Amino acid sequence: MSLPRDRQALLGLSLCFLLLPVLAFGDCTCEGDSPDQENSHGALSYKLGAIACILIGGTLGVCLPILGKAVPALSPGSDLFFMVKAFAAGVILATGYIHVFPDAYESLTSPCLTSEVWGSFPFAGFIAMMAAIATLQVDMIATSHYTRRQLKEAASLGGAKNKDTEAGGANAADNDVKLSIHHVHGPAAAPPDSSASSLEILRHKVVSQVLEVGIVVHSVIIGISLGASQSTSTIRPLIAALTFHQFFEGMGLGGCITQANFKSRAVIVMALFFSLTTPVGIGIGIGVSNTYNENSPTALIIQGILNSASAGILVYMALVDLLAADFMSPRMLNSGKLQVLANASLLIGAGFMSLLAKWA
């Protein structure tokens, strides 16, 4: 039995209105993917390839500046090293602004978060701001602590030398001469630049350790996201993008480690820790891929908070401890050529890392 045409048109129009909410919200789903078995096996092979590629890329990136100390052109005092550090600082700055913070904002404003609290306040920006302030406090407290300790050691050393000078003189004239020399040159027998050099090395140690924390937090999160994904079309472009991502970030971290003059054991531990974080994150993602839902409220909140904190740390470190320290140094200010080259390297690094956001 066929319906009249006017009733058919009315029925079709009614169905359109009934299906309109489904079509409007069809792209916004909070359920996890349910891939078929064949797609899972294909995705697993890509994930294993991603572990190898990202491990190699990250290791090369962090080791190049460290091994470059043996090359005079890449020594920490050379113009080329300034350019490499500016490039790496641009990479880290773009990572914080272009890669990490947008992901954090998207997670904490997702419609999958049922609580209205997360949508009523810009938590992503607030957490990033507080992380930057906390990084400043850690930077200040660590530097002041070690500075006071060095001053106490210098004072105790100067007091001991003063006693030895007074007790070891053969006569009063010799004592007067030695005491006058002591007053002219100060209580410590170190060269005038030694304290400044020690303080600068200390700053580089603090910078490299805090910077690694910010990078590692983000690296673990992107590793878990890649490992939990079951879409080969999503994983394929991420392999190349994340390999370059880790390579460039490794260069920035490696440059800071080089200037910090760590012992060999500490350098190896820091380099391995950075190189392994994303592959380990991918492994964790593979292990929980059957139960992990990146759109669940718990996962979104954890990812959003950690990414927000990571963004604040990376932006602070790039602007304050890397760019400001080098761009305001006397060597940079007294060389117009170096200023042009360093600024060009900064823009190239930030541009390349921003371009990678198209795929990762």
Higher pLDDT, 246 or 12: 246
| Closest-CA residue to 305 (of 93, 107, 55, 69) | 107
Higher pLDDT, 192 or 322: 322
**How far apart are alpha carbons 287 and 280 in whole angstroms?**
11
pLDDT tens, residue by residue, 95-140? 899 988 998 999 999 888 877 788 788 999 999 999 999 989 988 8
Could you report how far apart the first and last alpha carbons of the chain are, in Å? 56
**How far apart are alpha carbons 195 and 201 in whole angstroms?**
10
Token pair in block for residue 197: 């050099």
Token pair in block for residue 218: 């983000």
**How far apart are alpha carbons 122 and 114 in whole angstroms?**
16
**Most distant CA pair in the chain, distance:** 130
* Residues in CB range of 304: below 8 A, 6 or more apart: 104, 105, 107, 108, 123, 124
Quick check: 30 pLDDT over 60? yes
Q: Are 253 and 41 in contact (CB under 8 A)?
A: no
Quick check: 171 pLDDT over 60? no
Quick check: 256 pLDDT over 70? yes
Q: What's the mean pLDDT when you consider all of the chain? A: 78
Q: Give residue 282's pLDDT band: very low, low, confident or very high (50, 70, 90).
A: very high
Token pair in block for residue 90: 């641009």
Quick check: 6 pLDDT over 60? no
Looking at mean pLDDT, say which of 70-74, 105-109, 145-149, 180-184 comes out highest: 105-109
**How far apart are alpha carbons 169 and 178 in whole angstroms?**
8
In the chain, % of residues over pLDDT 70: 77
CA 157 to chain centre: 39
